[in-house]
A and B are shown apart, each in its own frame.
Chain A
Amino acid sequence: MTENLLQISSLEKHYPAQGGKVVPVLRGLALTLRPGAFVALRGPSGCGKTTLLLCAGALLRPAAGTVLIDGCDPYALSAAARSAFRAAHVGFVFQNFHLVPYLSVLDNILLCGLAAAPQPALATRAIDMLDKLGLSHRLRHRPAELSTGEQQRVALVRALAGGANLILADEPTGNLDAANSRILLDTLADFASQGGAVLMVTHEPAASDRAFTRLDMRDGYLHSC
């Protein structure tokens, strides 16, 4: 493991607009997350927070700049290698959970096994984590049978169970009540405390207050709060 779990430098990203113009979203942005980091990223809608998460998660190739995850530039890898790398190093948590509706709670987590080499301990690890989050009785349930809070907890376990040391969370508490938000934020904080790193986009003050570091995003740049 390198010293920096995520190192972003001079990151630029723009989207094409009508009339052949481009809309710059990220303008030479830099960010470094070391093990133990839990960063809350705030900013107005459309300022590029999600774009930053996607670039950081090896899902969206930046126009310029570099992204190093655990010391490796995922965009220098082939598509297949980048997928495998992402599965091994990055976990995503979405606001809408995005659980696969026809899979049980456990299968949603074991889905990570399709992405990488077989992980014999994955099921055991998943069951342990679900147990810790109070979902051991829901293993065979489908997402539609769960509350929103339970669904988000399952999504969180899916992000963590694959062994990723970098969690990228996009408004993870956006659809949760206070109690469930607290559970989720505590879990993320624990993960960071145990050597992982979390970059969380949020609008909610309670969520950003729980993070160890808070950054504001304006005009394509990051600013410390």
Chain B
Amino acid sequence: MTVCQLVTRELAYRKWNFLLAVLAVAMAATTYLLTSALLKSTDLTTAALVSRKVLDTERAMLRLEDEMRKAMKGLGFNIYIFPEDQDLGEVYDKGFASKTMPETYVEKLANSSIITVNHLLPALTQKLTWPEQKRSIILIGIRGEVPLAHRNPLEPLIDPVASGQIVLGCELHQGPGFKPGDKLSLIGREFTVAKCHPQRGSKDDITAWVNLSDAQQLLGKQGLINEIQALECNCVTIDRLAEVRKDLLAILPGTRVIEIGSQALARAEARLQAGATAAQQLASVKAQRSELRTQRETLAALLLPLIALMGLLAVMVLALLNVRERLTEIGVFLALGIHSTTLLAVFLLKALLSGVVGGVLGSALALLGIAVCRVRLFDGHAIAALLDPSELAWLLVSMPVFAASAAWVPSFWASRRDPAEVLRHD
């Protein structure tokens, strides 16, 4: 006869006591694993949601960038580069610069590595009288955008005008009745109408666009321009104009730079606003998930000790009932010369077994529970992601210890019984 044989035969004889102890341990194990899985599920879902949200935000920001770029293209150029000695008051007063600068400036800028501006458009602008039509017009000579050497060519904001052709604003073609293909004379030179713009409600309505070289010839300013228009890049910095100015003046020292404030500001603000909204949405998702985790953590903090305590008490009470039922048996064991340490081992081995079986059963129940409620409670995460094998191993080791600890006091009490006291009253 061995201690193990004695324990297994007693287990078979008092099945219910053992089964109840196993169930108590299993309940504690299942609750622990399910709670842990629930918290893991929350974390996994949060990580997935935040990751998706970040991705969505990045995509939305890219889309917004693109839309902004297109919108800004619609708004037109917002950076103007004038000769250094140009009086800006005159520009604001007359609508164009009287001073000129070499056309080569634009090549110099295009061949630089500047990134704070793009869409470079050299122009020669002058307000004059159209003698043939006897009216004031703004003549703009353009040659099309000059691509930046270090960048892929961008879609131009404004189409170039071919030599010998002219594009007319609304007031310039409506009155005389010009239409595309018509021939007209401007300061003694014949042009073919290439395009007639609809009404824009701005000075564009009295503007005529011709090829830059044609304008330079008409105005006697060969090789000269009086402005370079550009589009500020999408970079958002604290002081973007200062940055643009710094870059431009480093390349073109003999110039001065102005920015059309409202357009640039609207652009930057829109970008900042979109970014802030996205960040706010992300923060909101994180806050919601964090609150959910806190709720579940609070629940776990209450539930786990409660279940552990209940399990502990249940195993302890069952062990106590068992030893009380076996008091005479204990007295006989001691009278037969079986040592109290052997008796303690008998009781603790039984508790250990209930811990082993309860741990295995509890783990199986938790696995089953997760499998059944995976979609409803655990957001469809894989079981492998919800239950860590090391955690499972730890539980299977700790449950027997847990059960033996719970049974320690009754077992110790039983093994220290005075056999004479038991047998004398029998």
Residues of chain A whose beta carbon lies under 8 Å from any beta carbon of chain B: 50-51, 54, 57, 59-60, 79-80, 83-88, 90, 92, 94, 96, 98, 100-103, 107, 110-116, 158, 162
Contacts and interface: CB of A to CB of B under 8 A. Distances in A.
User: Could you say which of B13, B331, B332, B336 has the most chain A C-beta atoms within 10 Å of its C-beta?
Assistant: B336
Interface of A is mostly: helix
B426 interface: yes
B275 interface: no
11 contacts: A50-B424, A51-B424, A54-B424, A83-B339, A84-B339, A86-B336, A94-B426, A100-B329, A107-B9, A112-B336, A114-B338
Interface string B327-361: 01101111111111110000000000000000000
B1 A59 contact: no
Nearest to A90: B337
A26 B53 CA distance: 89
B373 to A, nearest CB: 40
A92 B329 contact: no
Contacts of B377: none
B372 interface: no
A120 B335 CA distance: 22
B1 A86 contact: no
Given A50-B424, A107-B1, A113-B1, A92 B336 contact: yes
B13 A102 contact: yes
A80 B339 contact: yes
B423 A115 contact: no
Contacts of B9: 102-103, 107
A57 B424 CA distance: 12
B3 interface: yes
Contacts of B331: 98
Contacts of A94: 332, 423, 426
Secondary structure at chain B's binding surface: helix, strand, loop or mixed? Answer: helix
B14 interface: yes
A111 to B, nearest CB: 5
B420 interface: yes
A100 B338 CA distance: 14
B423 A54 contact: yes
A112 B332 CA distance: 11
A177 B423 CA distance: 23
B420 A83 contact: no
Interface of B: 1-3, 5-6, 9-10, 12-14, 328-329, 331-342, 419-420, 423-424, 426
A59 B336 contact: no
A114 B424 contact: no
B335 A60 contact: no
Contact of B13 (A86, A101, A158): A101
Given A57-B335, A103-B9, 10 more contacts: A59-B423, A83-B340, A90-B337, A94-B426, A96-B426, A98-B332, A103-B6, A110-B1, A111-B338, A114-B338
Contact of A87 (B1, B6, B14, B336): B336
B176 to A, nearest CB: 121
B426 A84 contact: no
A116 B420 contact: no
B346 to A, nearest CB: 9
Chain A CB within 10 Å, residue with most, of B1, B338, B341? B1
B340 A79 contact: yes
Nearest to B335: A92
Nearest to A54: B420
Nearest to A97: B332
A206 to B, nearest CB: 23
B354 to A, nearest CB: 17
A50 B338 CA distance: 21
A59 B329 contact: no
Contacts of A86: 335-337
A30 B112 CA distance: 124
Nearest to B340: A79
A184 to B, nearest CB: 18
B342 A114 contact: yes
Contacts of B12: 102
Nearest to A88: B337
A200 to B, nearest CB: 16
